[in-house]
Chains A and B, each alone.
Chain A
Amino acid sequence: MSYEMVQTLSEVDDVATQAVQRLDIEDDISTNLDALYEKLKEADRVAPDDDVRFVASGEQLMRTIIYFTSGRKNALDAMAWVGEQWKGKTRDPNPMTILSMLALRYLVEEGMKHSDSDRIETWRRFRARLAAGSEKDADVVQNDFLASLAPNA
């Protein structure tokens, strides 16, 4: 399955949008899209051949955004929602990790939508690396949910 075909799998994108809406960080992501792009670009530059490391950096970046901008009630509600949604689907669900990964996915999709031609190729590379890194990461941690983010999920 090529990565382009993932776009037809809109389920993950829908879930990512739901997660970001529950966290109420859409405005923070759109307002700071340029700054977040630069942060991802730095992660891309630091780990050019290591997709897992790239994904880990992106996950940490979005975890920071969630922790500092979402609001306590929103974060607790979203964590409870993750617990309900993925109950029994993952071996050891860490709701904040799942939310961070979904937010990263949302960020990349937003970047694809709102970037000019100069950046679209970079965002496309981020998306491919996210897919590849999630797949490898899932192999390592045996995390079914992360595997669901991968192209061949």
Chain B
Amino acid sequence: MTRKLGIFSPTDEWRGRAFVTVPLGELAGVDAATVKRVGMWRGGDRIPAQIDRIDPEFPALDVVSMVLHNLRPGGASLGLETVQLSPVLESDDSQMGDEDQPLREATPESLTVKAKDLGVYVEHDKRAEMWTNRMRLHIHLPKEPTGYQGGSITSIQLDDGEMLDPIRAEIGPRDHDPEKRLQVDRVRIANPPWYEAPWTEHLVYKEAWTCVQAGAGPVRAFVNLRSSPFTVAHDGPSFVCHLHRVISVFHDVDHIIDDLYVTGRPADNENDAPVQLSFAAHYFLKMNFSVFPEITRVPQIPDWFSIGASVNPYPGYGFASSVPCGRIDNPPMDYPNIRSEHSAFSWELGFARTVQCLHMFKRKTPAGVVADETGRAWFDLIFKRARANIT
């Protein structure tokens, strides 16, 4: 079937490549519940695309993810391009080539989904591994053995070098900082206006996380991680809630995307469909940038910041988000380990119903360049990201 692909690239520059998603429900004529894959061709070229069922309990989050190349500047070009759309249904898997077909291996203990150069491996309730041609992530799910690493990314390798403890990676593989990690450690849910406290804080790092969904394809690999339940109780009904992190990795890049949302069900009726709640996430990062890290912020744009170092191996981290970021604590007020307090960071995000965050990692890059590239990534990939629709 022939469709119109609408592309909205709201910048003044050409984009070599852009990651965009289109809600699966918006594809008229396609049965969202049964479609397995879509094939799209733009000007004779196959568009890398995959169907991502993000959350089994939330079909509304299902998207078609695609990578578009050579987007022209100047804003909307809606309906100007024609794509051939070919949905593949459960019962009809033979009409497309296998070049983009991910390999899926499921056992009672684990799930592996592999595509070309990227993939994800999940060992239920224990760990998840994600990889691309440049990055490799290890995600620790249970609360044991430390009691504080639930749901955290405990290893991030870029070009075969560990980023969370770059000096150990530089001088040898031994004795990495056992605390190194990137995690969402707490979440705040707003209280009603008549409450004394403006919010209630829930610690999600002390409990186990689980993986509720994983997928991979020609565009990205992702895992959807869910925190242990926490109860949000106000004067009326109370809700059993979970924080979700959808972590995505992509070809050829040095960043990951982290989508956050909170779901809640009425505590007295768990068969009801879940709803999404507004929340404020709080991040914790344990990464060594030397004893004197260089934090760069632009006061007028609180949506991103970067951390760099002034000595070899010049590690860098950039954070960008779709919501404003509050104060960056280094170390956090309640961080107990004085010996390594220089490598502990935490920051809080503003309230929102869904949050998209970008975590960028650099090596051998001066702090100023890390800041430049983080700001650029925030502008290109979050603030003025390319959008698309199919009609």
Contacts A32-B171, A64-B170 given; 6 further ones with Cβ under 8 A?
A36-B171, A60-B311, A67-B311, A68-B291, A71-B342, A72-B291
Which residues of A sit under 8 angstroms from B210, Cβ to Cβ? none
Does A52 sit at the interface, judged by CB under 8 A? Answer: no
Chain B residues with CB under 8 A of A67: 290-292, 309-311
Q: How many interface residues does chain A have, given as a range? A: 20 to 34
A9 to B369 alpha-carbon distance, docked (Å): 45
Interface segment out of the listed B21-29, B79-87, B92-100, B333-341: B333-341
What separation, in Å, do the CA atoms of A71 and B290 have in the docked complex? 8
Most chain A CB within 10 A, of B166, B338, B342, is at B342
Known: A31-B174, A32-B172, A35-B171. A68 touches B338 (CB 8 A): no
Q: Is A127 an interface residue (CB 8 A)?
A: no
**Interface membership of B167, Cβ < 8 A:** yes
Within 8 A of B (CB), among A52-71: 60, 63-71
Per the bound structure, the CA–CA distance linking A104 and B171 in Å amounts to 15
Which A residue's beta carbon lies closest to that of B331? A72
Residues of A within 8 A of B (CB): 24, 31-32, 34-36, 39, 60, 63-73, 75
* Contact string against A for B residues 299-326, beta-carbon threshold 8 Å, 1 for contact and 0 otherwise: 0000000000111110000000000000
Q: With contacts A32-B171, A32-B172, A67-B292 known, is A72 near B341, CB below 8 A?
A: yes
B175 at the interface (CB under 8 A from A): yes
- Known A32-B171, A35-B171: A71·B339 in contact at CB below 8 Å: yes
Q: Are B171 and A71 in contact (CB under 8 A)?
A: no
The answer to whether B288 has its CB under 8 Å from any CB of chain A is yes
Minimum C-beta distance from A42 to chain B (A): 12
Minimum CB–CB distance for B173 against chain A, Å? 9
- Chain B residue nearest to A31 (CB atoms) is B175
Interface pairs A-B: 9 shortest CB-CB:
A68-B167, A67-B290, A72-B342, A35-B172, A35-B171, A72-B291, A75-B291, A67-B311, A71-B339
Tell which of B166, B167, B340 touches A71, judged by Cβ atoms closer than 8 Å: B340
Residues of chain A within 8 A of B311, CB atoms compared: 60, 63-64, 67-68
Instruction: Compute how far the CA of A39 lies from the CA of B313 in the bound complex, rounded to whole angstroms.
Output: 13
